[in-house]
Structure 1
């Protein structure tokens, strides 16, 4: 299962003694850079969290979310002429609701979970409606599943063809988070933004019952079809594809089969998910797996990582959450089968089909995919890959740029603009030679 290792980012952001709690507190805190949280509110919640106690984490952020949501409603009722304050409060509440359900089991029968699943998109929708112009939700239908999306355009009056980012999250994140991670920064540059979710990601898993699929082009190609159909608004030669976290596998995988993107951005690059999952179980468990002893493997995995028995060894928060999330997101009840499913998520068989420039982010203090961005960049080769190392000396070494989103967006979006400018120059040069 994916799990967090030791992290030197503790020295920069000592928000919890628990490594994965530390990261998941940094996560909403970092969204304050783009109106997704307020620093004092997150720190107040962090102070009430007991390390390793999932209910404590849920309770601290749940109480904060409810309080901020009530404030947002009150502000919206009296200040619609100045929507900024209400919008940012709704966005913050949505972030805190997402944090509140993060460590809870994926079973819909779990107390409070159904409500927590509904509250983040509702709060975010209220904030989305207060953007100028308002963002809007849409659904792209395919024969196998529906793809929920959010479409946003920059605050300029005229319709014209613009660069566009198609952005997707990863192993555990909702598309609403992406507005704060990269969407707002892209809108500031005059780009359109379309976010989406596919099988295994929150709304599709919850509402359609579908786990992750390795052939992610089945998700991205219909999304790209929709984007390119917006002929008045989209520059077809300037569409970029962004994948966050595990999306650092999903986006390059899709680009191996859909060559219409101007560029791909993997934050951070993922080469092969199988070893990450196997490492989470450890060598003794993997010997059972190699021997095909499924029943014993499943029983021991549940005892080691999920049991609440006082006689069972206490699993780390990272290991427990990683297994619970993996079983839910990949839609299986078997840890043995989860290992098999994870092994399908490798770029090795398809990397040679990628023909698009790829920005590969490589966090110095990578928690989950250490070493994999460099492997992806090496496989792509210098003609296609742009490997950028985000370093702790710049306070930018955390997974997916969390804590340094402004720097990450500046570096990545500058690169993207250089790519599309170069495409325009080459296109114009070709035409002038005719």
Structure 2
């Protein structure tokens, strides 16, 4: 197996004072905090989340799935009854919450589970039902890409050419989640359009075509997205920025190293070496492979049976060495002088000192004087991975910086979110 450094205390699922501490299982608690945090932009309701959590057995993934499905179905039914009665605002709000609750169930539903596709369709269906009631309505995208397509959404302020953020997630999540947590709703409030997309291997694209798997040369799918964006009359071609999350901290900087039509890039956080980021989990799985131990915990099952197929590996532990070798290709070293557009890095302290140092050391080698590195900590109530639980602060940091970079002075809202 290729050498992967043990991360020690560095763990993207670790959390400090801002986490809920509701579940003893750290993976459960992080994800509970993540979905609870979508309440900021109407993607959840606090009491509904805690009521659901009270029905979950700590660490039991089936219990997690069934509890969230129950809540999702109830809230979706409310939306459907509301729209039949002509109550559009109530229907939109309920569909948005149901979107999140179906995704919470989806997260621990493995790729081999026959319920997977149905839950995903419910997740996207609720969001698209809500999106029809946005003003203006959202547009569901099929972005041309090498004879196939990438999935996404376009949310616009109005019919005028506007600055636009292209937003993508990392190794999991969905476009629908990114609307809440990744800046889709936040962009609209600030007068930006948002084009949310899922590249090869990412959830929405992969669920529609399992042959479209992850690739290391991420500038290729981003080039397709920019080509598509430039066909939209509502997008100012001189003011296109890219925002990327989690593993997007590799994908975003990699893309702008080659795609020069992007005016600025933001990532939370910076991932110069993906193999370093995943080190502790890959070491544990390799040891289990060597001993023949198949007693996987839910985090390890997620890597083997949910995550690996998106990278083109379908045989679990048998393909594991090839999977790790692919991850080693996901590094930015050698591209420092090519990442020339302004770059904002919002790094979360709970990812650990080791990962923060890797990110900062790489960042310090980049040439643009407008670059900014912002470490969010417990004192910010934003120490968790991708600043989960404090979306307001994250988006303020991102868009205030972007306003300055693009020379914008606006504060208008359009009432979408």
Determine if the TM-score, normalized by the shorter chain, exceeds 0.5: yes
1:211-222 map, 5 Å? 211-222=213-224
2:40 maps to which residue?
33
Correspondence for 1:327 = 308
Counterparts of 2:362 and 2:51, CA distance in 1: 39
Deviation at 1:318, TM superposition (A): 2.9
Query: Deviation above 6 Å: which 4+ runs of structure 1?
Result: none
Structure 2 match to 1:169: 169
Q: Which residue of 1 aligns with 2:130?
A: 127
Q: Which stretch has the larger CA shift, 273-282 or 6-15? A: 6-15
Deviates more, 1:363-372 or 1:213-222: 363-372
User: C-alpha distance in 2, partners of 1:369/1:325?
Assistant: 24
Contact kept in structure 1, 2:270 and 2:347, CA below 8 Å: yes
**Are 2:85 and 1:78 aligned?**
yes
Say if 1:382 and 1:143 are closer, same or farther in 2 by CA, change over 3 A.
closer
Whether the 8 Å contact between 2:348 and 2:385 is mirrored in structure 1 is yes
What is the distance in 2 between the residues matched to 1:392 and 1:143? 44
Q: Show the counterpart of 1:376.
A: 362
1:412 aligned to 398, 410, 415, which one?
Answer: 398
Q: Does 1:147 align with 2:128?
A: no
Q: Which residue of 2 aligns with 1:111?
A: 114
Contact 1:355 1:384 in 2 (8 A): no
Cα pair 1:45 1:64 within 8 Å, conserved: yes
After TM superposition, the structure 1 stretch with the greater mean CA deviation from structure 2, 190-199 or 327-336, is: 327-336
SS in 2 for 1:387: strand
Q: Does 1:264 align with 2:265?
A: yes
Q: 1:385 Cα deviation (Å)? A: 2.7
- How many Å apart are 1:393 and its aligned residue? 0.8
User: Is the 8 Å Cα contact of residues 215 and 253 (structure 1) preserved in structure 2?
Assistant: yes
Counting only pairs closer than 5 Å after superposition, residues 280-299 of structure 1 correspond to structure 2 as 280-282=281-283, 285=286, 298=289
SS state at 2:365 partner: helix
Q: 1:98 aligns with which of 92, 99, 103?
A: 103
Residues 11 and 225 (structure 1), Cα distance of their counterparts in 2 relative to 1, 3 Å cut: closer
Aligned length: 395
8 Å Cα contact 1:4/1:318 also seen in 2: no
Q: Residue 178 of structure 1: CA displacement?
A: 1.1
Of structures 1 and 2, the one scoring higher in RCO (CA 8 A, sep 6+) is: 2
Gaps of 5+ in 1: 287-296, 424-434
* Residues 283 and 352 of structure 1: CA distance in aligned 2, closer, same or farther (over 3 Å): farther
Alpha carbons of structure 1 residues 43 and 234: separation in structure 2 relative to 1, 3 Å: same
Asked whether the equivalents of residues 165 and 195 of structure 2 are also in contact (C-alpha less than 8 Å), the reply is: yes
CA change 1:362–1:28 in 2 (3 A) is same
Deviation at 1:376, TM superposition (A): 3.4
**Cα separation, 2, equivalents of 1:79 and 1:284:** 53
Deviation at 1:381, TM superposition (A): 4.6
Partner residue, 1:294? none
1:293 is aligned to: none
For the Cα contact (< 8 Å) 1:358–1:384, is it kept in 2?
yes
Give the TM-score normalised by the residue count of structure 1: 0.85
Matches within 5 A, 1:179-258: 179-181=179-181, 182-209=183-210, 210-230=212-232, 232-258=233-259
Q: Separation in 2 of the partners of 1:74 and 1:6?
A: 38
Q: 1:13-28, aligned counterparts within 5 Å? A: 13-28=20-35
- Report whether the alignment pairs 1:54 with 2:55: no
Q: Secondary structure of 1:215's match? A: coil
Q: Structure 1 CA distance, aligned partners of 2:194 and 2:284? A: 43
Structure number with larger C-alpha Rg: 1
